[in-house]
Amino acid sequence: MKLPDKTGNTTGASNPQEKVPAASRSSGRVDELLKFAESLKGTKYRYGGTTPATGFDCSGYVCYVYKRFGIDLARSSASQYKTNGTSVERENLQPGDLVFFNTSGRGISHVGIYLGNDEFIHASSSKGGVKVNNLKEQYWNNRYVGAKRVLVAE
């Protein structure tokens, strides 16, 4: 599998026939995605934002990260929850899963990318733009709605 790097060049196995277990390929892909997601930490928040140059809102950030790896997601967090991926129970979260929250009191209104160890990365409208938070923090724990898996083993 070849993945684009930050410059748009591809990286990965040079021989497509190379025998690599599916779990390793999937894990490597997730690792690359998470590295890329974390490389955007500190990018400012901007409602409706979809690029590092202008800033991100939560769903714009998630779309930008996954698009880099050839995965097109719906644009809004509510649409992502409704149409993308397979539902995952909280106790079965894996790095790369999308985590969804109700921060508005009116349904799904926020999304982030699960990093592991109860941490997720997201574009926050308060304090710092793209940053990492913990699902066990009271604010996020109380607003957690569910998760979706969009990365699958090949």
Q: What tokens does 105 get?
A: 């009191």
123 HSE (CA, 13 A, CB side): 26
Residue among 37, 56, 110, 115 flagged as catalytic: 110
Any catalytic annotation for residue 122?
yes
Residue among 33, 37, 58, 73 flagged as catalytic: 58
Beta bridge partner(s), residue 120: 114, 133
Any catalytic annotation for residue 110?
yes
Any catalytic annotation for residue 58?
yes
Q: Which amino acid is at 78?
A: A
Residue among 60, 100, 122, 129 flagged as catalytic: 122
**Which residues are tagged catalytic?**
58, 110, 122
